[in-house]
Chains A and B, each alone.
Chain A
Amino acid sequence: MTYVHAKHDAPTTFWSKYIVSYDHKVIAKQFLWYGIFFLGVGGLMALLIRWTLAFPGQPFPVIGHMLFPHTDGVVPPDTYAMLFSLHGTIMIFYAITPILIGAFGNYCIPLMIGARDMAFPLLNMLSFHFAALSGLILLASLFLPLGGAAAGWTSYPTLSTLIGSPGLGQTFWCLAIFVLGISSTMGAINYITTIISFRAPGMGYFDMPLTIWGLWLTAILNAIFIPVLGAGVLLLLFDRLFGTTFFLAGAAATSGTGDPILFQHVFWIFGHPEVYILILPAWGIVSDLLSFFARKPAFGYKATALSMTAVTVLSTLVYGHHMFTTQMSPLLTQTFMTLTMTISIPSAVFFANWLGTIWRGSIRFDSPMLFALGVVFVFGLGGLTGLYLGTVTTDLYLHDTYFVVGHFHYTMAASVLLGGFAATYFWFPKMFGRMMNETWAKVHFWLTMIGLNGVFFGMMVVGWGGMHRRLYNPFVYEFMEKLIPMNTFITWSAILMGIGQLPFVYNFIHSMFYGEKASENPWQVGTLEWTLPSPPIHYNFEEIPVVKCGPHEFGNPNLNNGRDFQYQTEELVKGPQA
């Protein structure tokens, strides 16, 4: 049985339409702008980090003197620690999460399952407002006397306790993450309930687009594991504010020790599923886009959905591979290593399905497809390099080197970023009613691809060479001096990648106002959102659609209506003998 929202009039004032809107489409755009803003902030931080590593002691060009007047434009060491800590935090929690889960989750779920809105529109609105509050707290921490958090995005104690991080920056970090956790949990509750209760009549779980599968599994992981991090940061907050000793040890704990390693356990019980929380929506989106633009049904649709589910389950059992160097018992390290390797099996299944989908397809190389193919490439690289880190023997050497940084940037940053861009180019016409410029989109794609591969592959090379992460100036060590040219190359690649985003920003803003008007279905795709006008009306569907076939009905030889696809609302055309 399907439950539907009653229709009511669209809001008319600026306040009700854009600030306290209950409409999932508006909230999706709020999350999109929020994510793009933080992507810019996190990206600028990345450039500052890279500049410091390539040109140590030299002032950052153009804005360096304004940002660091006391050091003549040179990034100081303490600020460097703050930059890499907040770069990680911002990119993971404030850029990728809001764009892929907040924006496209909100936008796509009701439209793709044939619902008029989320199950709980008020909760949805509050979810964004909590995220906004969290973002404000984090940004405010930059202006504190001792600056923002500087204990890494993982905030391991004792570095993140008052002993390692005096001042309020780390306290603000804990508070911001806790508030953001509330926002994410609200969103997860809404997504899970909406997908279970609000699917259009006729839409079984295996009739859902894979995008929805990815978002659904992500929401399940979010609901289960965000509170684990919440508990950890709460206890860390207590240590900082009230003098408890949960994570203090050694000389810092004058009246009984806590256990700093416990925080690492708690962090990674959340943190490893978090990798999949970020990447599952991208996998789902890519799985759909490959089919849409290869003009073929998704190869092994059920196997892909079930593989994603298997990865989701397994992701909860492997967190220990982040902690091989914490004197874990060999029995445990081997167990975690084996479980980690097991994830390769379902991952390989859907990766093979992706290749099967595009094999001998009539591929259309439009911008969403280019970015989707980019995900296939970078995820392949990221996944394969993960094997070295999941294996105890190689991880002991590579732990905390730039190889780790390169690996997780390939999986979490490159895959998810390219997936986010693919989604943006694909759904922009539906969101704003106009097309983005294809030429600029392709310029954006190639600059980004060349830049990011230069950065992230270069990171793995210097990491393999022994360069550790988080060092302000690693070249004070003689054996690392030979890595200076490679670091310079990485930085120029990062600058290229940064410049490569300018066409996107221009294209996005220009197309919103002056782009070519989008038709109802510019990509000729059969999922439910493409049966609606661009942009859709308030409350999406005048009549709730009835679903009669799957989301990837392409190239049916029995079709005789001039199209090579079928809408999900159409009865599957069968041959005369059927």
Chain B
Amino acid sequence: MKAQTQKSHQIALSVALISWGMLFATLFLGYAVYRFQMPQWPTAGVRTAPLQWPIISTILVVLSSVSCHLALVHYRTLRSAPFRVYTWISWCLGLAFFVSQFLFWENLSQVGLYTQSGIYASLLHGMTWIHAAHMALAMIGLTTILFLAYRESSMGSRQTLVSHLTTFWHFLGIIWILMFIVLFIL
């Protein structure tokens, strides 16, 4: 029965990830259309986005994915103390990611890349906003897990929740890395 429940949850998660994947794929498609239509990128007279905060965000995302995975491993083996530690670390790294994003947006304004500053700036803002909104959802989930981590009785009984949240976290990490490569490197 438990295995079957997990199976239906896995199907649901797969479908949900396909849906989210399509949302982000559409954004990347839009980016490609804009990019390939322009003779010059960024458009003439527009400054390139500073890389400092996106690099920090990327490091934070990778680290948080690692700590989320370790938290899941300890949850599965019912080791509550390290599970709590790694969940706290993930939560803090998630929060730090948000701080880095706010600083990035601030940085964009400082170099004159406002939301109204043309399609290049629109893409930088729009895509990172949508990603951040999903990260906020994931942070709510992580906060819930953090609460559960202090209820000894629930240890091990929320495998599906913890495992799916970890998968979602990894998914958002992969999306961020793709965005980093596409928006800032290529």
Contacts and interface: CB of A to CB of B under 8 A. Distances in A.
Contact of A246 (B8, B114, B126): B126
Contact of B26 (A3, A197, A231): A231
Given A3-B4, A244-B126, A256-B120, A196 B11 contact: yes
A189 B23 contact: no
Interface in A238-269: 238, 242-246, 253, 255-259, 262, 265-266, 269
B116 A232 contact: no
Interface string B43-54: 100100000000
Interface string B16-46: 1011101110110110011001000001001
B11 A255 contact: no
Contacts of A537: none
A30 B186 CA distance: 50
A197 B125 contact: no
A265 B37 CA distance: 15
Contacts of B37: 259
A525 interface: no
A197 B11 contact: yes
A197 B27 contact: no
Interface residues of A, number: 41
Given A234-B130, A256-B46, A189 B15 contact: yes
A255 B4 contact: no
B119 A197 contact: no
Nearest to A190: B12
Contacts of A193: 8, 11-12, 15
A225 interface: yes
Interface in A197-224: 197-198, 223-224
Q: How large is the interface on B (under 10, 10 to 19, 20 to 34, 35 or more residues)?
A: 35 or more
Interface string A90-129: 0000000000000000000000000000011000000000
A224 B26 contact: no
A255 B33 contact: no
A3 B116 contact: no
Nearest to B116: A243
Contact of A227 (B20, B43, B122): B20
A459 interface: no
B129 interface: yes
A235 B119 CA distance: 12
Contacts of B154: none
Interface of B: 1, 4-5, 7-8, 11-12, 15-16, 18-20, 22-24, 26-27, 29-30, 33-34, 37, 43, 46, 114-123, 125-126, 129-130
Interface of A: 1-3, 119-120, 185, 188-190, 192-193, 196-198, 223-228, 230-232, 234-235, 238, 242-246, 253, 255-259, 262, 265-266, 269
13 contacts: A1-B4, A189-B19, A196-B8, A198-B8, A225-B22, A235-B27, A238-B129, A244-B121, A246-B122, A256-B118, A265-B33, A266-B30, A269-B26
